[in-house]
A and B are shown apart, each in its own frame.
Chain A
Amino acid sequence: MLAYPLIAGVLFGLYFSLLGIGLNLVFGVMRIVNLAHGDFLMLGAFVAFGVFYLLGLDPLLAVPLAFVLFVIVGIVLYGLLVPRLQQSRDPEMLSIILFFGLSQVIEALVTIAFGTSERSIPSRELGSLMTAAAKALGAKPEGGPVDILGQSFPAAWVISAVVSVIAIGLVYVYLYRTRLGTLTRAVMSRRDEAFATGINVDRVCAAAFGIGLGLAAIAGVFAPFMFGSVTPAFGADATVTAFVIVVLGSLGNPLGTALGGVVYGICYMLVQTFLSSWADLLPYVLLILVLLLRPSGLLGRKVRVA
């Protein structure tokens, strides 16, 4: 009874980590709250729809495409919005209003363009180019479920968990093994001092903003498989979930998000198993508990003084 929700929690939790890591990167570097995060995630799902329905390709190929596309979108958007925002007296508060407005605009435009109905992609199509790899993982032919410790799980969960681990790993490499990453951490730690030492803060922030949006778009590619379907209104719920995961792990620490996602995933699956009617309350209960017991999040302290 416990094994299934625990494994499911880890798999889904890794995906939840991917859901939140972009939001946290943006907050960590710029101290702005991107309330349109979920909408970029939704747009990532629409990239997957385009790749599959227009080009007839494996939706997995939408991952690099969505990432590159939204890194560019992020850098352009940063140039348009964020420097003005940073000049204001209270950029954190104003960012909430600005990105809430952006979220509404994105949702409205997508609704006008594509309608309000649910959209998805057949699960067996995800990773159709990787059937051989999936078989090696124990999957049955034609995108069947994957057996883990004697339990069956959707192949899409395993694929998204693997991609999430890779994405989180790459974020780690970016932050701790590249020059741009070192500069990014410097800005995360002390923005003013970084600026004073000659670091091009705007360039670092633009890159982080672009990567944040790119990661959201990657998570979006998997959304139709993880949540059944996606609508233009999907963004608001996704933002709330991502926000909870980020706070749980630690605001400002992208790697804490990985832990936050897994903890959230396990809690969610356990609540669904034993108190299914109350599963909706979980994000808010966790949020209250974290803010009461450990306001800095599970990995909070290390980040703030990194």
Chain B
Amino acid sequence: MLKTAIAALGLGMAMGMSLASPVLAADAPSEIKLGTLYASSGRYASISMPVHAGLKLWVEQKNAEGGVYVKAFDKKIPIKLIAYDDQSNTATASTLYNQLITQDKVDLFVADSGSVLTAPAVTIARDHKMFLFDQTGTGGSFFSKDNPYIALMSDPVSTIWPKPIADFLTKDGPALGIKRVAILYSTNEFTGTQANSLRKFIKDANAPIEIVYDQGVPTETTNYTVILNNIRAAKPDAVIHLGYAPNDIAFLRNVQDVGIKFNMLFCIYPGLETELLEKNVGAKGLQHVFTYVPPSEMAYPVNFGMNIADYRKAWDKKYSDGKIEFGFNAVAGYTTALVIEKTLSVATSLDQMELRKAVFSLSGKLKTLDGTFALDETGGQIGELTPLGQLELNDHGHIKFVAVYPHEVATGKPVYPRP
């Protein structure tokens, strides 16, 4: 009787364990399919390729170690990267995103870089009930309470990203003499949202700041000379230019060419893709420009993955030809990869809602080279914030970052007005 009871108990425990453990290792797939897009040409190539290269670096590194640990199967499984080239074309991207889901039947669905090329993926992911690992698409409209199929991996959502600029302008600005602000932005989801948020933050602050110029230009704009003349006519104390890397290059070169000196000038990409901007605009053209301070300058402590110094070494080793610049986007691709790796290590199945649950469980706990990964309820990234900084020249004439706001992370005082 006792033997029977023990046997029954043993059988019951074994059955219970088998039910509790998600799937037997024997049922594990031979590979985890990660599907994504990249732009090898076109307007977004310079921001897409570094992100993709960061992701690829991780895939190769992990596969060399036998794969990533997948809790759902309690074993390491190699990653199969399925990546197509959308050539910076949103129509092509839509077709390829669909192909990844319906033909390739990927397990993990990862967007291309930037809001413009992420936008088609947001709708497609939602329609197919696939969870979207949104790498750097920060557009505010992507995130809503009724869409559980998205989370932003590597950049702050655009609705909060410009907060440090607005706070600096409204809190420190008046004392410095900043009263008139000009906002010029490229009309796309990424910078359009940032412009809207900046405008709202400034107005809500009720500070003595007047927006004297507020215009959007097409993202494809490559010449700003006439626009600069119009901005100059508005006599602003601070000019905030929100555009992609090619916009910033053209804008800053035109500022130099026309010989205009604004007292304060902010651009996004001198901070995010400093190497690229320095190569095209020159160190002198970037001197005194305000920008976001990227994680590479903050050297955040990590609790998962490589730190910034080790990642830089790995990057230089793999991409030694220098065709892809190391910058914020290179960090973003690797950050996405780390979130995916950690997600697979905690998710009990590859069900898309389980993946979502796993991603959200990392919020506030995962610390990577990009800072603290933190999500709001809609999947928008609210960690990984970039302070406001200013670019100055070091003794060797090279660019260095000076964080100026918020005060608790400041490493120096802002140079205002620009000499």
Task: Write the residues of chain A forming the contact surface with B, with a CB cutoff of 8 angstroms.
Answer: 1, 4-5, 8, 12, 107-108, 111, 114-120, 122-123, 140, 144-145, 151-157, 226-229, 231-233, 237, 269, 272-273, 276-277, 279-280
Contact = CB atoms under 8 A, between A and B. Distances in A.
Contact of A118 (B216, B218, B229, B246): B246
Interface stretch (B61-69, B70-78, B252-260, B350-358): B252-260
B264 interface: no
Instruction: State the 3 A-B residue pairs at the shortest beta-carbon distance, nearest first.
Output: A228-B250, A115-B323, A154-B257
A234 B258 CA distance: 24
A116 B41 contact: yes
A156 B257 contact: yes
A268 to B, nearest CB: 8
B217 A277 contact: yes
Contact of B218 (A111, A154, A232, A279): A279
Contacts of A122: 282
Nearest to B251: A228
Given A115-B324, A276-B217, A231 B45 contact: yes
B46 A145 contact: no
Given A116-B49, A118-B249, A123-B256, A276 B223 contact: no
Contact of B245 (A1, A118, A153): A118
A226 B226 contact: no
A117 B276 contact: yes
B323 A117 contact: yes
Most chain A CB atoms below 10 A, which of B87, B226, B229: B226
A119 B280 contact: yes
Interface residues of B, number: 45
B218 A117 contact: no
B377 to A, nearest CB: 33
B225 interface: yes
A276 B276 contact: no
Contacts of B324: 115-117
A145 B223 contact: no
Nearest to B276: A117
A158 to B, nearest CB: 11
Quick one: which of A4, A118, A123, A229 has the most chain B CB within 10 A? A118
B114 to A, nearest CB: 14
Nearest to A236: B42
A128 to B, nearest CB: 14
B98 to A, nearest CB: 23
B216 A4 contact: no
A151 B323 CA distance: 39
19 contacts: A8-B225, A111-B40, A115-B49, A115-B324, A117-B46, A123-B253, A123-B257, A151-B229, A154-B257, A154-B258, A226-B223, A227-B250, A228-B249, A228-B253, A232-B41, A233-B42, A272-B226, A276-B227, A280-B221
A262 to B, nearest CB: 15
B254 A154 contact: yes
A120 B251 CA distance: 13
Given A145-B258, A154-B258, A233-B41, 9 more contacts: A4-B226, A117-B323, A118-B245, A228-B223, A228-B246, A232-B41, A269-B226, A273-B227, A276-B227
Interface in B309-324: 321-324
A15 to B, nearest CB: 10
Interface string B334-367: 0000000000000000000000000000000000
Nearest to A278: B218
B253 A120 contact: yes
B88 interface: yes
Contacts of B147: none
Contact of A227 (B39, B223, B276): B223
B411 interface: no
Nearest to B285: A122
Nearest to B50: A117
Contacts of B230: 273
A140 B259 contact: yes
Contact of A107 (B41, B49, B276): B41
A148 to B, nearest CB: 12
B269 to A, nearest CB: 10
Contacts of A232: 41
Interface string B115-147: 000000000000000000000000000000000
Contacts of B258: 145, 152-154
B40 A116 contact: yes
A139 to B, nearest CB: 10
B392 interface: no
Contacts of A156: 257
Name the residue among B245, B246, B254, B276 with the largest chain A CB count within 10 angstroms: B246
Given A4-B229, A152-B258, A228-B222, A118 B217 contact: no
Contacts of B251: 228
B282 A272 contact: no
B216 A120 contact: no
Contacts of A276: 215-217, 227
B257 A145 contact: yes
B280 A233 contact: no
A233 B88 contact: yes
A256 B113 CA distance: 42
Interface in B233-255: 233, 245-246, 249-251, 253-254
A145 B87 CA distance: 36
B227 to A, nearest CB: 6
Contacts of A237: 220
Max chain A Cβ within 10 angstroms of own Cβ: one of B42, B233, B321: B42
A2 to B, nearest CB: 11
B325 interface: yes
A115 B39 CA distance: 12
Contact of B257 (A4, A151, A155, A269): A155
Contact of B325 (A111, A117, A229): A117
B187 interface: yes
Contact of A231 (B46, B225, B254, B322): B46
A145 B229 contact: no
B195 to A, nearest CB: 12
A226 B321 CA distance: 28
Given A140-B259, A227-B250, A228-B280, A154 B215 contact: no
A229 B325 CA distance: 15
B43 interface: yes
